[in-house]
């Protein structure tokens, strides 16, 4: 470890330390003497240091006070009185993670970076923002809510609500899954903070006053209510010296003790019915959700927590799990609910399960299905292999060094945070080895799992059955209610009040346009940028089974294995079936084993099996491409031989004769895609806008984009005709035959000490494989450069706008300048125009080498036509305004930071492998890095003028059917999802 366990700053008292070998950390707990603030430090030999400060925030209404405060606190502080220090620091940093978030019972401010100077810079800004925020009234108006007239200076024009969080939550609550969870929570938790929407209900957000926000800050944003958590190789006492000097020394202990409290329990199960909005174009047939929820024990009781995690895994982990199997195979609904599983972050845990895609009267049948299944398990027991597999999954998850989505250290902190918030013991949450040992003893009793089912589910009267039905008129009623409320407010306004609204918006406009001195904020410079990309060495082996790429990485006892084949030439009907083929591949039976038996086998020996197609445009020409199909899995080293055999069997012997299984999986896939549309609306819009730019972009839109989502939805409707499914199964068989004949190669990642054993096992397993056809033709696609102008409709009260221009592929000399241009437009124009002034949750631009296109986008946007105009306005601004060179430097830092983002050891090896496979050598990536560092302002103006010409732009928008008139005006073809 990097420091002495008891090494604390004088302002802190060391309480305890605990070594956790499986996580390669020593966990240390300290308490600040004056305020009582807790500091948990995870000491690790890792230069990627992570900081997090969290406050317990437990609102008792749905006005969104904690969420709006999170936004507003980042808009200027005592030491940094600039208008936007948070987003400005993103541009002046080499962070690998930087954000803030509001959960149901806490608000947290985390960041991570590998650069020590950068860490100190961010720490200064974060601590000042949290503990000495200015909370300017105009920032509250911008980030939270405000009244404004549709014609700025005309009090007779329509009165409107504006605000970033207001629009963010309009977008968030357009998601059926978000509405389902919030509605279930409101009934499952009738009396505590979880009853309310911590993000804020759009109808309630305008009720929050500025005074309420300031009072909430005064009582909650105090060190006595704070939790400090850190990870990395900076010693705890050094961190604490900064905490003390920058913030804590100025505070005394405050007698606060915020707690979610214990929920009042129901004496009998509750059955409720509510509705959610759907677009009239979508219809209401089989769109009902039926979900059952139970309130369990406290999440701080670690014995109960791990038992609940095990039970949830036993019941729902995969398609062989008994409750999941019952839900998947039921004709009552199209798919298991996306809410299935255990929620263990709240003070009291909850267990949920149910179905989506039901008829409105499906509640009783769903209840009977679930309760009958649970009663059967309680009476007859659970297959011991399912229990062992569930325990195996817990162990594998504990050992894996993750970090591809967010830094590994941050993931560890986030695992421990909920327990700390509820004043539990995070040491026990992170070190689960003793718990695993206890569970191994517990499951020796065949009545252990049945006993949990009886106690927590069958005998538990605090149960809610929620039926959530679709309503095509609800969105209109909500709009009418808002319009009526605003009209009523407007009718009561005095002349002075009207003048005050105009004045506030005018002052906000002036504030948004003001240029603050960024020199008030610390920064890193281009001199701080690491000169070299990490070198991830590979050993290329020419073996009896083909090419094997071996990477020795610190994987903490896990091994990662992939078989990669070049995608063969596929006829058009086979190519259109490929995304469904790859998604369903690991979910089907193998050889003589059914899908359920294979699911059990996967859970027993692997951490899951995945199949996916990976396609990239050529570095020098986006119209050329290379495509591979990958079968991937991971396991503990001790299970590698079994995993390798499973891998082999699945590759050659997957079966496509389980017709009902395929039907169920397609229904589940469609339901999952449709429920996620508004969650990733901006990426879907961007994909659609650039879909005509290159073959890979077109396939992306057709496979996983809006066109693919609609195609699957339409195919589902045809499944009553068995011939359609028979034809699809035949296509799957034909694709599989070509795949097994295609040239194949292997990727193997593990600990250096295990090299020989792992390679030997791999070769022994695959030496029996039939020879591949080296002459098989690889997939090619026709070229495409077609403009797009579309508006896609779904259920949403906000828009997701995108505009794309044809540019150049990644190997072109102009690609680096276009990448930097995207950052400058995002940072210096789009953020202000679309987010701050327009009220969207987010906006940006990017240069995409795969489609060879430059793409603008907005996220949860109340506007449409004006945002498209702002995209054009940013180009005019670049070409015609006098700009500061620092904007270029800030954007360069952003590009470099994205190149150096956090990645796990196994993820780094995979990245390196696929970069080389697709022609992105380390030398070419270093050349790109050097070119980025050399981009100038003149380069940006040159490429903007050359490529971003209005007549070349393609447009795609995700919106609702009420925007048909706007679509006609903008000459956008309306596409119903």
Question: Residue 776: which residues within 8 A CB-CB, separation 6 or more?
Answer: 566, 568, 569, 738, 741, 742, 743
The DSSP H or E segment spanning 923 is: helix 922-933
- pLDDT of 207 reads 97
- pLDDT tens digits, residue range 840-890? 999 999 999 999 999 999 999 999 999 999 999 999 999 999 999 999 999
Q: How far is CA 150 from CA 153, 158, 707, 747, in A?
A: 9, 5, 35, 58
CB 480 within 8 A of CB 396: no
Summary mean pLDDT of the chain: 95
Phi-psi region of 505 (alpha: psi -120 to 50; beta: other; left: phi over 0): alpha
CB 961 within 8 A of CB 281: yes
Average pLDDT over residues 579-605: 96
* 789-976 carries CATH number 3.90.1150.200: no
CA distance 935 to 594: 57
The DSSP H or E segment spanning 542 is: strand 539-543
Q: pLDDT class for 576, splitting at 50, 70, 90?
A: very high
Secondary structure (H, E, C), 822-845 = HHHHHHHHHHHHHHHHCCCCEEEE
- pLDDT of 5 reads 52
Average pLDDT over residues 254-263: 91
CA distance 861 to 799: 5
CA distance 82 to 288: 48
Query: DSSP secondary-structure letter at 777?
Result: P
Phi-psi region of 227 (alpha: psi -120 to 50; beta: other; left: phi over 0): beta
Average pLDDT over residues 283-308: 94
CB 827 within 8 A of CB 835: no
Architecture of the domain made up of 12-114+134-260+497-520: 2-Layer Sandwich (3.30)
The token duo for 73 is 């606190």
Query: Which of helix, strand or coil describes residue 603?
Result: helix
The token duo for 711 is 């195609």
Vertex 122 angle, CA 116 and 124, to 5°? 105
**What are φ and ψ of residue 670, in 5° steps?**
-65, -45
Q: pLDDT class for 22, splitting at 50, 70, 90?
A: confident
Burial per residue of 655-693, b for 16 or more beta-carbon CB atoms within 10 angstroms, e otherwise: bbebeebbbbbbbbbbbbbbbbbbebbbbbbbbbbbbbb
Where exactly does CATH 3.30.830.10 map onto the chain? 12-114+134-260+497-520, 270-381+446-471, 789-976
Query: Which of helix, strand or coil describes residue 708?
Result: helix
- pLDDT of 633 reads 96
Q: pLDDT class for 3, splitting at 50, 70, 90?
A: very low
Query: Which of helix, strand or coil describes residue 462?
Result: coil
- pLDDT tens digits, residue range 343-392? 999 999 999 999 999 999 999 999 999 999 999 999 999 999 999 999 99
Q: How many CB atoms lie within 10 A of CB 572?
A: 7
Indicate the burial class of 881 (C-beta count within 10 angstroms; 0-12, 13-18, 19 or more): exposed
Average pLDDT over residues 709-713: 96
CA distance 320 to 317: 8
Helices 236-246 and 116-131, interaxial angle, to 10°? 40
CA distance 700 to 848: 13
Given a cut of 60, is residue 288 above it in pLDDT?
Answer: yes
The DSSP H or E segment spanning 322 is: helix 322-329
Given a cut of 80, is residue 783 above it in pLDDT?
Answer: yes
**What counts of helices (H) and strands (E) characterise the chain?**
34, 28
Q: 5 or 128: whose pLDDT is higher? A: 128
Given a cut of 90, is residue 908 above it in pLDDT?
Answer: yes
Average pLDDT over residues 473-486: 94
Residue found under tokens 């020409």: 621
Query: Which of helix, strand or coil describes residue 316?
Result: helix
Given a cut of 90, is residue 229 above it in pLDDT?
Answer: yes
Beta strands in 305-451 (DSSP E): 335-336, 341-343, 348-358
Q: 283 or 156: whose pLDDT is higher? A: 156
Q: How many CB atoms lie within 10 A of CB 566?
A: 19
Radius of gyration (C-alpha) of the chain in whole angstroms: 28
The token duo for 225 is 């209510």
CB 169 within 8 A of CB 203: no
- pLDDT of 395 reads 87
Pairing of strands 800-806, 853-859: antiparallel
Vertex 696 angle, CA 713 and 670, to 5°? 15
Name the CATH superfamily for 270-381+446-471.
Answer: Metalloenzyme, LuxS/M16 peptidase-like (3.30.830.10)
Residue found under tokens 């605990």: 18
- pLDDT of 1 reads 37
Q: How many CB atoms lie within 10 A of CB 746?
A: 21
- pLDDT tens digits, residue range 715-738? 998 888 889 999 999 999 999 999
Query: Which of helix, strand or coil describes residue 805?
Result: strand
CA distance 358 to 289: 6
% pLDDT > 90, the chain: 90
Of the candidates 750, 740, 567, the one whose C-alpha atom is nearest the C-alpha of residue 649 is 740
Q: pLDDT class for 2, splitting at 50, 70, 90?
A: very low
CB 83 within 8 A of CB 514: yes
Long-range contacts at 29-36 (CB < 8 A, ≥ 24 apart): 29/427, 30/236, 30/240, 32/223, 32/243, 32/244, 32/248, 34/248, 34/249, 34/251, 34/252, 34/253, 35/222, 35/223, 35/224, 35/226, 35/248, 35/251, 35/252, 35/253, 35/254, 36/223, 36/224, 36/253
CA distance 233 to 50: 10
Average pLDDT over residues 817-831: 97
- The pTM is what? 0.94
Given a cut of 80, is residue 535 above it in pLDDT?
Answer: yes
- pLDDT tens digits, residue range 616-633? 999 999 999 999 999 999
- pLDDT of 775 reads 87
- pLDDT of 6 reads 67
Q: pLDDT class for 284, splitting at 50, 70, 90?
A: confident
Q: How many CB atoms lie within 10 A of CB 397?
A: 13
Query: Which of helix, strand or coil describes residue 258?
Result: coil
- pLDDT tens digits, residue range 194-205? 999 999 999 999
Of the candidates 630, 637, 640, 580, the one whose C-alpha atom is nearest the C-alpha of residue 610 is 630
- pLDDT of 33 reads 97
Of the candidates 14, 244, 40, the one whose C-alpha atom is nearest the C-alpha of residue 131 is 244
Given a cut of 60, is residue 671 above it in pLDDT?
Answer: yes
């Amino acid at each position: 470890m990097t420091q002495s366990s008891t090494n604390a700053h004088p302002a802190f008292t060391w309480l305890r330390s605990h070594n956790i070998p499986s996580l390669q950390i020593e966990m240390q707990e300290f308490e600040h003497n004056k305020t009582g603030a807790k500091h948990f430090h995870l000491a690790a030999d890792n230069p990627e240091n992570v900081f997090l400060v969290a406050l317990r925030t437990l609102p008792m209404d749905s006005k969104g006070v904690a969420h709006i405060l999170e936004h507003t606190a980042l808009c200027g502080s005592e030491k940094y009185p600039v208008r936007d220090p948070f987003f400005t620091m993103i541009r002046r940093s080499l962070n690998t993670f930087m954000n803030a978030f509001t959960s149901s019972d806490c608000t947290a401010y985390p960041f991570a970076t590998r650069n020590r100077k950068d860490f100190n810079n961010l720490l200064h800004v974060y601590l000042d923002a949290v503990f000495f925020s200015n909370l300017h009234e105009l920032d509250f108006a911008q980030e939270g809510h405000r009244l404004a007239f549709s014609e700025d200076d005309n009090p007779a024009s329509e009165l409107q609500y504006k605000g970033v969080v207001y629009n963010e939550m309009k977008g968030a609550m357009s998601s059926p899954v978000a509405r389902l969870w919030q509605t279930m929570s409101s009934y499952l938790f009738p009396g505590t903070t979880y009853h309310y929407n911590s993000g804020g209900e759009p109808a309630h957000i305008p009720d929050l006053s500025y005074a309420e926000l300031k009072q909430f800050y005064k009582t909650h944003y105090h060190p006595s209510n704070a939790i400090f958590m850190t990870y990395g190789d900076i010693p705890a006492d050094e961190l604490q010296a900064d905490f003390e000097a920058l913030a804590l020394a100025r505070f005394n202990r405050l007698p606060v003790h915020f707690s979610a409290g214990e929920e009042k329990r129901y004496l009998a199960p509750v059955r409720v019915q509510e509705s959610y909005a759907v677009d009239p174009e979508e219809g209401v047939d089989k769109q009902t959700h039926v979900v059952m929820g139970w309130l369990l024990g406290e999440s701080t009781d670690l014995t109960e927590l791990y038992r609940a995690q095990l039970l949830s895994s036993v019941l729902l982990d995969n398609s062989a799990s008994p409750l999941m199997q019952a839900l998947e195979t039921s004709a009552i609904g199209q798919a298991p609910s996306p809410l299935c599983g255990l929620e263990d972050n709240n003070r009291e845990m909850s267990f949920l399960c149910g179905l989506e895609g039901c008829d409105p009267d499906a509640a009783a049948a769903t209840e009977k299905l679930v309760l009958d299944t649970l009663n059967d398990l309680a009476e007859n027991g659970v297959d011991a292999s399912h229990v062992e597999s569930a325990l195996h999954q817990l162990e594998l998850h504990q050992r894996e060094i993750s970090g591809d989505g967010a830094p590994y250290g941050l993931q560890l902190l986030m695992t421990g945070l909920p327990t700390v918030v509820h004043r539990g013991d995070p040491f026990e949450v992170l070190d689960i080895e003793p718990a695993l040992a206890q569970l191994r003893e517990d499951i020796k009793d065949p009545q252990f799992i049945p006993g949990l089912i009886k106690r927590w589910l069958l005998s538990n009267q605090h149960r809610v059955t929620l039926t959530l039905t679709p309503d095509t008129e609800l969105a209109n009623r909500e709009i009418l209610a808002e319009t009526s409320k605003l009209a009523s407010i407007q009718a009561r306004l005095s002349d002075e009040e009207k003048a005050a609204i105009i004045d506030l918006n005018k002052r906000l406009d002036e504030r948004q346009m003001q240029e603050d001195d960024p020199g008030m904020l610390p920064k890193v410079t281009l001199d701080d940028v690491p000169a070299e990309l990490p070198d991830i060495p590979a050993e290329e082996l020419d073996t009896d089974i083909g090419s094997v790429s071996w990477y020795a990485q610190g994987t903490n006892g896990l091994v990662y294995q992939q078989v990669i084949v070049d995608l063969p030439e596929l006829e058009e009907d086979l190519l259109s079936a490929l995304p469904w083929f790859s998604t369903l591949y690991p979910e089907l039976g193998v050889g003589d084993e059914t899908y359920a038996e294979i699911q059990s086998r996967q859970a027993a020996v692997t951490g899951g099996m995945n199949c996916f197609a990976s396609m990239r445009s050529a570095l020098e020409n986006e119209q050329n491409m290379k495509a591979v199909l990958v079968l991937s899995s991971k396991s503990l080293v001790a299970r590698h031989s079994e995993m390798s055999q499973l891998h082999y069997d699945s590759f050659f012997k997957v079966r496509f004769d389980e017709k009902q299984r395929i039907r169920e999986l397609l229904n589940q896939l469609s339901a999952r895609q449709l429920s996620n549309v508004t969650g990733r609306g901006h990426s879907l819009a961007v994909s659609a806008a650039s879909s005509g730019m290159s073959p890979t972009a077109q396939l992306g839109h057709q496979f996983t984009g809006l066109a693919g989502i609609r195609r699957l939805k339409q195919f589902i409707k045809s499944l009553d005709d068995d011939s359609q499914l028979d034809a699809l199964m035949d296509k799957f068989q034909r694709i599989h035959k070509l795949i097994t004949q295609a040239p194949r190669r292997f990727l193997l990642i593990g600990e250096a000490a295990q090299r020989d054993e792992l390679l030997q096992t791999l070769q022994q397993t695959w030496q029996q494989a039939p020879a591949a056809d080296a002459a098989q033709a690889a997939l090619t696609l026709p070229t495409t450069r077609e403009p797009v102008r579309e508006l896609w409709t779904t259920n949403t009260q906000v828009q997701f706008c995108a505009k794309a221009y044809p540019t150049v592929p990644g190997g072109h000399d102009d690609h680096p300048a276009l990448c930097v241009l995207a950052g400058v437009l995002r940072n210096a124009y789009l953020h202000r125009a679309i987010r701050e002034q327009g009220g969207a949750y987010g906006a940006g631009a990017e240069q995409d080498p795969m489609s060879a296109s430059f793409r603008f986008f907005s996220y949860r946007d109340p506007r449409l036509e004006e945002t498209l105009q702002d995209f054009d306005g940013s180009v005019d601004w670049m070409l015609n305004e006098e700009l500061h060179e620092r904007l270029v430097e800030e954007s360069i830092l952003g590009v470099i930071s994205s190149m150096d983002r956090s990645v796990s050891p196994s993820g780094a090896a995979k990245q390196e492998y696929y970069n080389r496979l697709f022609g992105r050598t380390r030398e070419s990536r270093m050349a790109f890095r050097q070119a980025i560092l050399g981009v100038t302002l003149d380069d940006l103006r040159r490429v903007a003028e050359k490529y971003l010409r209005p007549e070349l732009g393609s447009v795609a928008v995700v919106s609702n059917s009420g925007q048909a008139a706007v679509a006609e005006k903008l000459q956008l073809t309306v596409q119903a999802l």
